[in-house]
């Protein structure tokens, strides 16, 4: 039996909690993913997000819509929290120093049905140049969808995804087939 290090166990438990408390999705017969409550996740920005970073965030969200073959994430406009308090909601925020991290994803479940969730992605302003920002958003949304960090340097979910840019990446990093299949496995209706 392989020895499991404490940090591996902690990451495994965190991923289990995230994947069990997040919004419920189901893969349809066509292979597309749909929300079990028939409502998309709306996303918005709080007043800490630099307007020049919004395009990279939108591109990162659109990336997952294309990869998953659905409009899972929709921009909700301004003042979304008051208008859509009964909908799944993802709010982006920015801070100046995340103590060595460039982004952190949080899921806060609400309601007994599990259909309504509030989610936050907090991004470090120092990591938000246009090229890296879209990759960072893709990575953090991967966590919202239930993916864990990996140490594989070719994966979008690499623990320090921005290391790709130190070795010459010139385009936003994409999820590989195994990461996309992992998301589809999470939401195939068996969990």
Specify whether the CB–CB gap between 13 and 46 falls below 8 A: no
> What CA–CA distance (Å, rounded) separates 191 from 187?
7
Specify whether the CB–CB gap between 94 and 54 falls below 8 A: no
CATH number corresponding to 6-186: 3.40.390.10
Three-state SS at 100: coil
The secondary structure element, H or E, covering residue 123 is: strand 116-124
Range name among 17-26, 54-63, 73-82, 179-188 with the lowest pLDDT average: 17-26
Name which of 117, 164, 114, 115 is nearest 138 in CA terms: 164
What pTM, to 2 d.p., does this model score? 0.76
- For residues 68-94, give the mean pLDDT: 73
Q: 130-164 pLDDT, tens per residue?
A: 778 999 999 999 998 888 899 888 899 998 888 87
Q: 83-140 pLDDT, tens per residue?
A: 455 567 888 999 998 888 899 998 776 555 555 567 899 999 988 887 789 999 999 9
- For residues 47-55, give the mean pLDDT: 90
More confident of the two residues 62 and 184: 62
Name which of 35, 73, 61 is nearest 139 in CA terms: 61
């Amino acid at each position: 039996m392989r020895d499991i290090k404490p940090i591996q166990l902690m990451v495994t438990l965190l991923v289990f909690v995230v994947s069990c408390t997040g919004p419920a999705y189901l893969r349809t017969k066509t292979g597309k993913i749909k929300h079990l409550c028939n409502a998309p996740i709306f996303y918005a920005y709080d007043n800490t997000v630099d307007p020049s970073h919004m395009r990279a965030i939108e591109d990162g969200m659109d990336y997952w819509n294309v990869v998953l073959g659905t409009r899972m994430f929709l921009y909700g406009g301004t003042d979304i929290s008051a208008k859509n308090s009964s909908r799944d909601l993802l709010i982006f925020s920015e801070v100046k120093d995340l103590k060595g991290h460039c982004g952190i994803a949080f899921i806060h479940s609400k309601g007994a049905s599990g259909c309504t969730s509030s989610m936050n992605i907090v991004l470090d302003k120092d990591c938000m140049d246009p090229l890296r920002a879209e990759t960072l958003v893709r990575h953090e949304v991967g966590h919202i969808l239930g993916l864990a960090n990996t140490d594989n340097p070719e994966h979008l979910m690499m623990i320090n995804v921005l290391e790709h840019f130190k070795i010459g990446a010139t385009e936003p990093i994409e999820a590989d087939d195994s990461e996309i299949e992992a998301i589809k496995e999470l939401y195939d209706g068996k969990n």
